[in-house]
Amino acid sequence: MKKKFEISEHRLVPKHTKLSDKEKEELLAAYQITNKELPKIKKNDPAISSLEVKEGDVIKIVRPSLTSGESTFYRGVVNV
């Protein structure tokens, strides 16, 4: 029996979550940006393979940081 390796459970992979449409609107409004200005993440990136994302979604990433302990980062899903 071969169990599929779940990449998001690995300790070195930071937590990726999908923002709801409302959260996304708020985020874009807060920074006064459109999807274009967001950092990108590819749709088929292994880290978000279990999230069921589509182009234009925003992924929230919480990762450990040397300077601030924990930092939040956002990426817009693209398919290029």
Partner 1 sequence: MAEQEQPTPIEEAAEPASSEVIIPEGSEVPEDVLEESEVPPSTDKSPKVRIDPEEQIAGKSVRSIIFSVFSPKTIKQMSSAKIVTPELYDKEGYPVDGGLMDIRLGVIDPGLKCKTCGSKLKECSGHFGYIELARPIIHIKFVPLIMTLLKCSCQGCGRVLIPKNKVDTAKKELGRIEEELGIEERRRSVKDIITNLKTINKCPWCKSKQSKIALEKPTTFLENEKRISPIEIRARLEKIPDEDLELFGLRPQNFRPEWSILTILPIPPVTMRPSITLESGERSEDDLTHKLGDIVRINQRLFENINAGAPEIIIEDLWDLLQYHVTTYFDNEVAQLPPARHRSGQPLKTLSERIKSKEGRIRHNLAGKRTNFSARTVISPDPMLGINEVGVPFEIAMKLTVPERVNEWNIAYLKNFVKNGPKKYPGANYIVRPDGKKKKLTEETIEASVEELQPGYVVERQLMDGDIAVFNRQPSLHRMSMMCHRIRVLPFKTLRLNPAVCNPYNADFDGDEMNLHIPQTEEARAEAEILMEVQTQLISPRYGLSVIGCVQDSISGLYTLTKRSDIDRKLALDLLAATGIEDFSRLPKREKVSGKEIVSVLLPEDFMFFGEKRSDLGVEGKEKEDITVIIKDGKLLSGVLDRNNLGEGSGLLLRTIHKKYGKEFSLDLLGKLFRLGIEVLLRLGFSVIISDTDLPEKARQEIKETLTQADREVEELISLYHNNKLDTFPGRTLRETLELKILEVLNRARNKTGEIAATHADRDSPTMVMADSGARGNLLNLAQMAACVGQQAMRGKRIDKGYRGRTISAFKREDFSPHARGFISNGFKSGLTPFEFFFGAMTGRDSLMDTALRTPKSGYLYRRLANAMQDLKVEYDHTVRDAGKRIIQFSYGEDGVDVAKSENGVINVQRLFGVHGGQD
List all residues 6 or more positions away from 40 whose beta carbon is below 8 Å from its beta carbon: 75, 76, 77, 78, 80
* Residue 38 found at the interface with partner 1 (CB under 8 A): yes
DSSP 36: G
Do the Cβ atoms of 43 and 76 come closer than 8 Å? no
User: Which segment (7-15, 16-24, 27-35, 45-53) binds partner 1 by CB under 8 A?
Assistant: 27-35
What is the CB neighbour count within 10 angstroms for residue 28? 18
Asked if 29 touches partner 1 (CB under 8 A), the answer is no
Q: Does 68 bind partner 1 (CB under 8 A)?
A: yes
Interface with partner 1, residue 32, by CB under 8 A: yes
Residue 39 Cβ vs partner 1, minimum distance, rounded to whole Å? 6
Q: Does 72 bind partner 1 (CB under 8 A)?
A: yes
